[in-house]
Chain A
Amino acid sequence: DAMVIQNPRYQVTQFGKPVTLSCSQTLNHNVMYWYQQKSSQAPKLLFHYYDKDFNNEADTPDNFQSRRPNTSFCFLDIRSPGLGDAAMYLCATSRWGGETQYFGPGTRLLVL
């Protein structure tokens, strides 16, 4: 089945230790999104790629970076995780911008 896959499902890192979360899709969608979601809150968009074009949200900290080496894969790099970065990170795709988004199961990040 076509889907959005996130690995790992749970990630534990130490304060200040770089961490990379990965997302892959078999839907061949043009757009990939990364969201941060904290407990009982709405997903907050960090950035998105339309094909190879990177779009950063104005309030996304510089600590967060992203790479999309090809259509199928997208990575979220947190260069120096702080305690406040502990959250669920959701990857989503859509065929075209603004249309239905298909979400992965998320990666829950714990920062010790």
Chain B
Amino acid sequence: SQQGEEDPQALSIQEGENATMNCSYKTSINNLQWYRQNSGRGLVHLILIRSNEREKHSGRLRVTLDTSKKSSSLLITASRAADTASYFCATEGDFGNEKLTFGTGTRLTIIP
């Protein structure tokens, strides 16, 4: 399976703290994406980082990519209760087959 692994599976932190989630994948990629999913809802795209990029920022989000280690991390700074959700990484393989492979997800809980 090409499915990525996310670590940790679940994370609980106090509001205001930073949250870091990690994603590892198995094959060479064109890009890696992070999505958020609130309970019972669809996924929402957060950020896309291409294989030739090492770091990307969007608001309170910071994503890093290390293609040599086949890993990525998502950092959420100054967490808020509204950040409580599941977070998935997804990769597009460099064989260009039009689809994403999703990781197993990290369930993040922010404690007010």
The total of Cβ contacts below 8 Å across the A-B interface reads: 67
Interface membership of A48, Cβ < 8 A: yes
Please pick, from A43, A50, A100, A108, the residue contacting B102 in the complex, using a CB distance under 8 A.
A43
Q: How far is the CB of A87 from chain B (nearest CB, A)?
A: 12
User: In which size bucket is the chain A interface?
Assistant: 20 to 34
> In the complex, which residues 4-29 of chain A have their Cβ closer than 8 Å to any Cβ of chain B?
4, 6
6 A-B residue pairs with CB within 8 Å: A40-B105, A42-B3, A96-B98, A97-B99, A101-B35, A108-B40
* Residues in chain A within 8 A of chain B (CB atoms): 4, 6, 31, 33, 40-43, 45, 48, 50, 55, 88, 90, 92, 96-106, 108
* Residues in chain B within 8 A of chain A (CB atoms): 3, 30-31, 33, 35, 40-45, 48, 88, 90, 92, 96-100, 102-105, 107
